Amino acid sequence: MSTLKFAVLTGDGIGPEVMNVALNVLKVVAEKHQFELEFEYADVGGIAIDNHGEALPESTLEVCKNADAILFGSVGGPKWESLPPKEQPERAALLPLRKAFSLFANIRPGLLYPELTEASPLKTDRIPNGIDIVCIRELTGGIYFGQPKSTQDLEDGDVEAIDTMVYKKSEIERIADVAIATAQSRGKRLCSVDKANVLETSVLWRKTVTEYVAAKAPELELSHMYVDNAAMQLARDPNQFDVLFTENMFGDILSDEMAVICGSLGMLASASLGAGKNSLDHPFGLFEPAGGTAPDIAGQNLANPCAQVLSAAMMLRYSFGQEAAANEIEAAVESAVKGGTRTGDIAFGGNAASTSDMEAAIIAGL
Ligand code: NAD
C-alpha cells in the first residue's frame, strides 16, 4: 500500500473549513483506492504571524520539506492588512514557498460546468456547454523576478523605476514540457501567448516554443497569439482554446480573467509544480484554490469547498500519480454541482445551502 505524504497548510479565513472537507474526501478515496494518507498540519499566513511572528516560519518550511506535496488553503485577511507589504501573509508566505520549491509551473483549469453557466458574466449563448480550458503559466521567471529591479531619484528631480523581463531558452523549454503534457492529455491544442511584436523575450519565447513543440510533440496543433488578442478572445469565445500557455505576467492576468469568466472563485483549483521530483518520483507540487480567504463568509458554513477539493484531486494526479482517484473526485464534484446543492451567489451552483451540504453531496458521489 503506498503512502501519500503531504503537508497541510490551511491558512486563514475559510481555509480551515474548506480544507476539512478536502481531507474528508481524500480519506474516502484513500480507503477505496488502497493508499494511506500521512499528513502534517503547519501554520501559514496570518495564523503563523500570530503564533510564530512570521507568515512562513522555519518549522512550517521544514514540514513541507519532509513532505511530497503541499495542500494549501489560502492566507490573509483584514487583521494583517496594515502590516508592511513585505510582511503581508500572501507575499511573505506564497512567494518564499514558490522559491523554496522552485514551483515554476502553474496549472489552472478554467472549468465551468454547464449547470452553472448563469454564474458566468459571459452571455450564456456563448458558453452553452460551460467552459473547459486550462492555463499554464510560467511562475518563477519574467518581469516579476528579473534584475535589475529598482526605484531611484534622478539628477533632474524626476523618479525612475525599473523592472526587467528576462527569459532563458531553458526556462521556456521547461514550461513547454508541462504545456505539451497537458495538451496531450486533453484536446491536443496548444495556444502559446506572447507579445512577440514588441518584446525580445517574446521573440525568443515564440521561436523556442515553435521549435520545441515541432521536435517533441508534432501531433499537437500549436498556435500563437498576442496577449492583447488573447485577452479579447477569452472574453469572446473561451472554448476556442484548449490549453493556453504563457509567461509569468501575462499568465497572471489571463488566468484571473479566466477565473472571472468561469463565474465562481469557489470552484477553481490550481497546481504549482516544482522542478524537482518527490520521493515517489513525481513532481513536488503546491495545490491551492484560486480564491482567497473570503473573510466575509468565514466561519459561517457558507464557503464553497469545491476549489479545495479539486485542488486535492490535482495533488493526487500530479504529485502522487493517482489518476483514477483524482478522476473520481472530479466526477463527484461535478455530480454534486449537478445535484443542485447550492446556488444564488457567485460562489456556488445548485440551491443555496452550506459547506457541509456540499461535502455530503461530494462524498455521496464517491
Ligand atoms: P477572496 O477570493 O477571498 O474573496 C472574493 C469574493 O469571493 C468574496 O465575496 C468571497 O466571499 C468569495 N469567495 C471566494 N472564495 C469563496 C468560496 N470558496 N466560497 C464562497 N465564496 C468565495 O478575495 P479578496 O476578498 O480579495 O481577499 C480576501 C483575502 O484573501 C485578502 O486578505 C487577500 O489578500 C487574500 N487572498 C489570498 C490568496 C491566497 O492565499 N492565494 C488569494 C487571493 C486573496
For residue 270, which amino acid is it? Answer: S
**Within this chain, do residues 128 and 242 fall inside the same structural domain, yes or no?**
yes
Q: How many domains does the chain have?
A: 2
Q: Which of 228, 237, 296, 345 is catalytic?
A: 228
**Within this chain, do residues 196 and 324 fall inside the same structural domain, yes or no?**
no
Whether a cis peptide bond, with omega within 30° of 0, leads into 305 is no
CA of 171 to the centre of ligand 1 (A): 31
Q: Indicate if 163 belongs to the active site.
A: no
**Within this chain, do residues 246 and 306 fall inside the same structural domain, yes or no?**
no
Residue-wise pLDDT tens for the chain (366 aa)?
899 999 999 999 999 999 999 999 999 999 999 999 999 999 999 999 999 999 999 999 999 999 999 999 999 999 999 999 889 999 899 989 998 999 999 999 999 988 888 888 999 999 999 999 999 999 999 999 999 999 999 999 999 999 999 999 999 999 999 999 999 999 999 999 999 999 999 999 999 999 999 999 999 999 999 999 999 999 999 999 999 999 999 999 999 999 989 987 888 999 999 998 999 999 999 999 998 999 988 998 888 899 999 999 999 999 999 999 999 999 999 888 876 554 434 345 444 468 888 898 899 999
Residues framing ligand 1 (Cβ under 6 A): 14, 18, 74-77, 90, 94, 265-266, 288, 291-297, 303-304, 307, 347
The answer to whether 73 and 286 are in contact (CB under 8 A) is no
Residue 112 lies in a domain: no
Q: At what angle do helices 248-261 and 227-236 cross, to 10 degrees?
A: 10
**Within this chain, do residues 232 and 329 fall inside the same structural domain, yes or no?**
no
Q: Which of 199, 231, 261 is the last residue of a domain?
A: 261
Q: Which of 144, 226, 338, 357 is catalytic?
A: 144
**Within this chain, do residues 127 and 225 fall inside the same structural domain, yes or no?**
yes
List the grid coordinates of 228. 492583447
**Within this chain, do residues 247 and 282 fall inside the same structural domain, yes or no?**
no
Taking the C-alpha atoms of residue 290 and residue 306, their distance in angstroms, rounded to an integer, is 11
For residue 169, which amino acid is it? Answer: K
Taking the C-alpha atoms of residue 212 and residue 218, their distance in angstroms, rounded to an integer, is 9
**Within this chain, do residues 78 and 126 fall inside the same structural domain, yes or no?**
no
Give the Å distances, CA to CA, from 357 to 9, 29, 164, 295.
24, 19, 48, 20
Q: Which of 177, 237, 256, 345 is catalytic?
A: 256
Q: Which of 261, 284, 312 is the last residue of a domain?
A: 261
The CATH number linked to 80 is 3.40.718.10
Residue 34 lies in a domain: yes
Q: Which domain holds residue 343?
A: 1-104+269-366
The answer to whether 93 and 55 are in contact (CB under 8 A) is yes
Residue 111 lies in a domain: no
**Within this chain, do residues 301 and 346 fall inside the same structural domain, yes or no?**
yes
Q: Which of 223, 245, 261 is the last residue of a domain?
A: 261
Ligand 1 atom 24, closest CA: 292
**Within this chain, do residues 135 and 178 fall inside the same structural domain, yes or no?**
yes
Residue 32 lies in a domain: yes
CA of 74 to the centre of ligand 1 (A): 8
